Structure 1
């Protein structure tokens, strides 16, 4: 028995097959959410886990971070470049719009991608992602007090221990210009009372409160305490003294 082929159909089938095998992908094309290992936070520069092509037309690799790495900032070429992400860790990934964990914050659940309700918020897209940290709960994305080491008085430029931080172990009679009148929250991990002043150590400046109407020359933060500063103390501190006495001696009376 002879088997007859329709020549035209056979040629067409071969062409289709060859086209499927040898058609090249567009320059710079990459698969969604690739190159992201387990227990990593992977940051991508395009939507849906893709990377924008570089100058050569090739797609670079995403930036990836293990769960114990919480950088205070990114290299200049990746600053504010994140558009999508894949959090393959068991921790919350806390994304911040400013370096040193400040500015706008977005908490990314464990084991989630930037799709649906977990996409970057409009506010975060507008501001850009500049730093991140990992946290065991969503609530801890909105505070940064845990950065303060034992034995130090820590000052923060944002509420809830967020933003830029400085750790101090001794009295400071005059804050540097980068910190003078810029403190918004405090954590005291020393064994002393932190006595804050509105001016230098020798100044006679005082704070005035409206309700109740009073004036104060000191603001106290007890050993082991943390707090957000409110008016008139927020952004109005210029020096401090660490008082070892528990009976509020004259140097630390409010």
Structure 2
């Protein structure tokens, strides 16, 4: 499992979850394929992943909401994999971290805005998983992990209202349904529902009074880190993660239990 490529979406943001996941996997020596809409950010992510220990890193610009864009990017990755020794190994894991949030209240939200949130967060997972799953089934091994959110369980908060909550609930439902469909094939699935992770939220960092408020409402008394989240992903996509499938892992410092 550890020799296969991990495909990570949403890795371009320096302080984002996708970057933290990529670096955690790189530190374990995993080959990486990093996908994002931000080409400049991808270049920086690839450099950081190589420095962290990834033996092979390739990147591709993609809009996960667009099936054709996803197909083109993964086709290019598969071509690199087929090129021979010393290039990209076959895709063994998909980690969908790319996502958007929309704080627009329900009565002010447009249909287009609602659909865009679902297109990136939920339909993006569908596009990616449907595209990589055949290869995983053929090799008899694969891991599909997607970022959900506590918003899927509690309806969201200041930065993510009904559209975001619905999109992440859809992620969890898709992960559970897919787990049943591929059970016994060597492919497993998982969702992670983080909260109060120290990232750049809505274009601004958690600093000052804003940070204090987030820490105060987190039972463990601090914010989580993208590296901690990345270490959970590393377990799920690693050789010892094959006996868990369809589950949602709450990584929220005790903010929501059960």
TM-score, L = length of structure 2: 0.22
Larger RCO: 1 or 2 (CA < 8 Å, sep 6+): 2
Structure having the higher helix fraction is: 2
- Larger of the two Rg values belongs to structure: 1
TM norm structure 1? 0.23
